[in-house]
Amino acid sequence: MKKHVIPVLAIAALALAGCSQSGNDDSSSKSSSGSSAPQTYDAPSDATTPENNKPWSTDEGGYAEANGGKMKVNFHADPTPSMQQAIDSTGGALTTSVIAVEVDNTNGSNEIDGYDLQVVGEDGSTTEVKSANDWAVDKGNKIDDGELQGNDDAFTTVYDEAQDSTARPGAKNTQYFLVDKPLPEKVRNVTFEGTSLSFTAQVVPTSKKNDYASIQSDYPGA
């Protein structure tokens, strides 16, 4: 599946220009999200960490806002049937974690569409979680190159289903992000990188969503 997605690399580059460089779960990836190896950063101690940036459990979920829309983040989502079929076709070669972002853009002013999530664990390690689109392209290319055994058509189906993932003003949808390793149990910082208008949305614990606007400055990358 030699599809090279998202002619938004230039836009994505603008979105990331001000952010810390993050890692990729697979250094040999040929997807359009990039191919940099994972990086680890020193996490600050609780004594020097802003109250809102202390580790919080991914079981709680997260909340974010962008372009007037609201987003609910589920760090432990089930794969869609097509994703599960693609994963199963590799015969156990993939241990994939799925994040689902439920977007409510009913009152939004612009489109909301994400190309990855940056997840900083309690220990400071950073994981890039790819959009379903990019994840499928990466795996399809690996199958084509003989680096992965699996059903290329199954990954193409995931790719096709992810093509209309944009939540336009007045609409709601669910956007999926995948990484082929377990996610940390606790996180310090999570950012949602968007394609439309190159936005970056900070994810906060669900319990703090009512204070979202007032606590953004306490999160790195906000």
Residue 6: half-sphere exposure toward Cβ, Cα within 13 Å: 33
pTM: 0.77
Distances 193 to 11, 45, 132 between C-alpha atoms, Å: 11, 26, 14
Cα 184 to Cα 134: distance, rounded to the nearest angstrom:
21
Q: Tokens representing 124?
A: 């400071």
Cα 21 to Cα 18: distance, rounded to the nearest angstrom:
9
pLDDT, one tens digit for every residue, the chain (222 residues): 655 444 333 333 333 344 444 444 443 333 344 444 444 434 444 444 556 678 999 999 999 999 889 999 999 999 999 999 999 999 999 999 999 999 999 999 899 999 999 999 999 999 999 999 999 999 999 999 999 999 999 999 999 999 888 999 999 999 999 999 999 999 999 999 998 788 899 999 999 999 888 877 666 554
- The position carrying tokens 């940056």 is 118
**Which of these, 180, 165, 140, lies nearest to 31 by C-alpha position?**
140
Other Cβ atoms less than 10 A from the Cβ of 46: the count is 10
